[in-house]
Amino acid sequence: MPRVPLSRIAGARSGDKGEGSNVGVIARSAAAYAFLERALTPALVQAHMHAINRGEVLRYEAENMRVLNFILTDSLGGGGSASLKTDAQGKTHGLGLLRMMIEVPHEVLDATPEG
């Protein structure tokens, strides 16, 4: 399987949720969503985002929109006005996750337009 950045098959939006942030991963195709639903686990996201997230990672699904939403429960150091972190509102966390390299089957890549 080819190893590609997550951005090859998905986009993302992120922002603050109190002391945590949320990252919505939007699959670029139905095939990409089906693959990500199996492969993009909270443990995998936590392993990739370990430098910023000290808490757990929760995952919610919105299949009708091809979105997996991850909550990084302790990633902002207190949130917007209380944090000394460079990105106290988590706006760059989606980009950080999209840079993760993952192994994706050829059939998923073939069925997914590049963004």
Report pLDDT digits (tens) over 8-35.
999 999 987 777 889 999 999 999 999 9
Report the C-alpha gap between 8 and 37 in whole angstroms: 16
User: Given a cut of 50, is residue 88 above it in pLDDT?
Assistant: no
Please state, in angstroms and rounded to a whole number, the distance separating the CA atoms of residues 82 and 89: 10
How confident is the model over 53-63, as a mean pLDDT? 91
52: Cα separation from own chain's centroid = 13
Domain ranges of the chain: 3-110
Q: Looking at residue 81, what is its pLDDT?
A: 56
CA distance 109 to 3: 11
**pTM (predicted TM-score):** 0.87
Q: 14-18, 22-26, 48-52, 72-76: which has the minimum mean pLDDT? A: 14-18
Average pLDDT over every residue of 64-90: 71
- Tell me the residue type at 51: A
How many other C-beta atoms are found inside a 10 Å radius of the C-beta of residue 17?
Answer: 16
pLDDT number for residue 100: 97
The answer to whether 96 and 49 are in contact (CB under 8 A) is yes
